Structure 1
Amino acid sequence: MQEAAVANMKTFSRVVVCGVISEYTKAEKRAAPDMLDVVYKRIKIQGFLAADYMSVYQDFLQKRCNYLRGGEIQVLEDISSGMESIPSAFVGLFRGDNIEKKIVQIAEE
């Protein structure tokens, strides 16, 4: 996926990277973009940590809650059902199987 993204990026593109949970436990070689494309297209790849932005967290939280209440953004939920799905749901987090927010529903409300 990363190779396809880099191959289709424009000159002077920028990429931000935060969170690579699927890579934490991989034993095999990790994927890397075609570095020739990164150089020739002058692509900037920069990582960041959420902790870098703790000073603006309260403002973000207030705005995000307002957007959610107003329906301006929607939460995507990846829901698995039942206690028996907990182990595979947990392992799937490390493989990047989930979409957005992972939930295991234990019982109907």
Structure 2
Amino acid sequence: MRTTVLSSLFALALAVTPLVSTANTGAHTAPGAPAAANSLAKVNLNSADADTLRRELAGIGQAKADAIVAHREAHGAFTSVDELLEVKGIGKALLDRNRDRLALNP
């Protein structure tokens, strides 16, 4: 009987192991982390509204999001992601943190 119980436990362990090893492969972020960390979709600088910019980009609060939209309205569509450096409050570090999340589709 001892062999049967051990064999059953071993078989159960083998059956459960793939579930355990793949269960933790999903991306997890801390509660309150920006949605940018949760998705792979890019944010279009030329069409995103301030709420989307604030929600999807790291380090962008309401004031900076509003400044990005105001810059776009005053100067036209962004032609380069680096133009964000012209927006008050956006520095190189903040731009570099978000660079991979930005798109420029008209």
TM range (shorter): under 0.3
Question: Which has the larger share of strand?
Answer: 1
Normalised TM-score (structure 2) = 0.19
Q: Which has the higher helix share?
A: 2
